Structure 1
Amino acid sequence: MTIDAIEFDWVADLVRRETAIVLGAGKEYLVETRLTPLAYDAGEPCVEEWVRRVRSGGTPHQRRAIVEALTTNETSWFRDGPVFDVLRDTVLPGLLSARGAAPVRLWSAAASTGQEAYSLAMLCHELDPHRRAEIIGTDVASAVVGQAAGGCYDRLAISRGLTAQQRAAYFQESARGWRIDPSLQRHVSFRTLNLARPFDGLPRMDLVLLRNVLIYFDAPTRLDVLRRVRSVMAPGGWLLLGTAESANDSDLFVPERIGAVTLYRPR
């Protein structure tokens, strides 16, 4: 059974107000699928009825659970190999050289459960184990931010993108799974941040990874997010978007092609 139009519109409006993510017509099945576990946990086998209950008298916690269930948290280690090849071979060596003794600051702006942020930490360590890198991972979903900060991954997660050598070098096996080595984890921090709202407390960033996020926003929101990302970037910094995304519609960035990857410099 597909959720009816009234309940779907309410969910879509809630998600848009909280995150600026647009759930247009045709996303009813996604809403039904993502909210089914929440409805079952509440003792309601019908998503439509559960949403109706939350809409009429639900708690802030329930509304937040709906929002977080409908954010996309697909990620893996070193996702998109050519991207990380360019970061390893060109972008990060250039930043490390340009910043001298100052720390290099990197932002994984849709960090999900942390694999992208920790992948950046591994690259920095491989390039110069004695240099200080400060890596911040942010996500709108507090649940995945908590997982990322814990730095512990199960067998399935650890198998997606890591070599055996990387697992041996950067993880400690435990009864709960594989945990990021503390010597690497200390360079990475996580916080909850909504890209559709003002960025509070972020330092100037040398590299921003904002991948596969803008596709969920409408055009005015995309421009607004790019404008605020530009405001926290250091001179000479880089912006990296997803392969289906572009900053060419704004006058804020200049594209630069490196191999098969397009990155952006602040204008």
Structure 2
Amino acid sequence: MTPSEYEFLKRFLKTQSGLVLSDEKQYLVESRLLPVARKAGLASLSDLIAAIQRPASNALQVSVVEAMTTNESFFFRDKTPFDNFRDTMLPELLKSRASRRRIKIWCAAASTGQEPYSLAMCLKEAGSKVAGWSFDILGTDLSSEVLDKAKAGIYSQFEVQRGLPIQMLLKYFTQKGELWQINPDMRAMVKWRKFNLLESFATIGEHDIVYCRNVLIYFDQATKIDILQKIAKLMPSDGYLVLGAAETVVGLTDAFQPVAGVRGLYQPKQSLARPMAPVTAPRFAAIGGGLAGR
């Protein structure tokens, strides 16, 4: 791959996905895109780069973007964001949403689904505290491949051993040979959609909690600012934004403020936030005697 080809690829990926590649990441590009080239019957990365510039190359372009933006995930990653959900966000929203008994959660860049399913397990573990409540959990990602895996909810022994307590594995998963599948009632708690964070957020709708973790680090400052401002516009004044351990709103936007004493948790500034939407009939079944489903 020549320097000019690499420059084209960097521009292409930034335009298509927001991903910013530094010059020293060329080794990563080669390791991820060589299999794409081989699968397409192309002899080299130079041939692949030439191919995605031709008309009618949309499918190949998508394969390139997905190969470069597929990131790892694991259950209850970093632990703190889920402790904060259980100890701070959920108790506060159960009080403030008592009249509607419905809470909406969006996991952006949800990858293979471990984050949304971890939240679903937190809700199941809450038991009687959330009986009769409806929870909409939306998981989105740019990659169709990882979304397909998330929908199936099938994970290897290695994947379920990363962060998932053995009690939860036995309680919420069924073993299928050497693999484990999260149970149907858990899968029914999450909706999945392909979504690019560079697009308009108009189709996402208002959400009380937004998890946008470990994705902003791949964007340049202008893209980070744009995404954070778009998130702020779809959150109620008492909503919560959860970022990754290496991410912050400080120096990027005034639309959010840190929650005092809680690491990695933010709320819209009262003066800038939108009012809470009026109560509407829930679309999901309630958690209680039955399931929370689509």
Which letter does structure 2 place at the counterpart of 1:257? A
Match of 1:7 in 2: 5
* Contact 2:81–2:264 (8 Å) recurs in 1: no
Paired residue total: 264
Q: Which range moves more in the overlay, 222-231 or 3-12?
A: 3-12
Q: Deviations over 1:179-206 (max 9, x none)?
A: 2212122111110111111014223211
Match of 2:200 in 1: 198
* Contact 1:199–1:228 (8 Å) recurs in 2: yes
Aligned ranges 1:129-148 → 2 under 5 Å: 130=131, 131-148=133-150
SS for the counterpart of 2:264 is: strand
Aligned ranges 1:131-210 → 2 under 5 Å: 131-175=133-177, 177-210=179-212
Which letter does structure 2 place at the counterpart of 1:177? L
Counterparts of 2:250 and 2:162, CA distance in 1: 32
Task: Report the CA distance between 1:235 and its aligned residue.
Answer: 2.5
Match of 2:284 in 1: none
Counterparts of 2:96 and 2:177, CA distance in 1: 42
Task: Report the CA distance between 1:53 and its aligned residue.
Answer: 3.5
Match of 2:51 in 1: 53
Q: Superposition RMSD on alpha carbons, in Å?
A: 1.8
Is 1:257 aligned to 2:260, yes or no?
yes
Gaps of 5+ in 2: 270-294
Counterparts of 1:53 and 1:255, CA distance in 2: 46
Scaled by the length of structure 2, what TM-score is found?
Answer: 0.84
Match of 2:97 in 1: 99
Bigger strand fraction: 1
Match of 2:117 in 1: 118
Counterparts of 2:245 and 2:172, CA distance in 1: 28
Is 1:109 aligned to 2:108, yes or no?
yes
Counterparts of 1:119 and 1:132, CA distance in 2: 17
* Contact 1:10–1:55 (8 Å) recurs in 2: no
* Contact 1:193–1:199 (8 Å) recurs in 2: no
SS for the counterpart of 2:53 is: helix
Counterparts of 1:251 and 1:43, CA distance in 2: 49
Counterparts of 1:178 and 1:209, CA distance in 2: 25
Scaled by the length of structure 1, what TM-score is found?
Answer: 0.92
Gaps of 5+ in 1: none
SS for the counterpart of 1:9 is: helix
Identity of aligned residues (%): 37
Aligned partner (choices 235, 244, 247) of residue 245 of structure 1: 247
SS for the counterpart of 2:238 is: strand
Task: Report the CA distance between 1:45 and its aligned residue.
Answer: 4.3
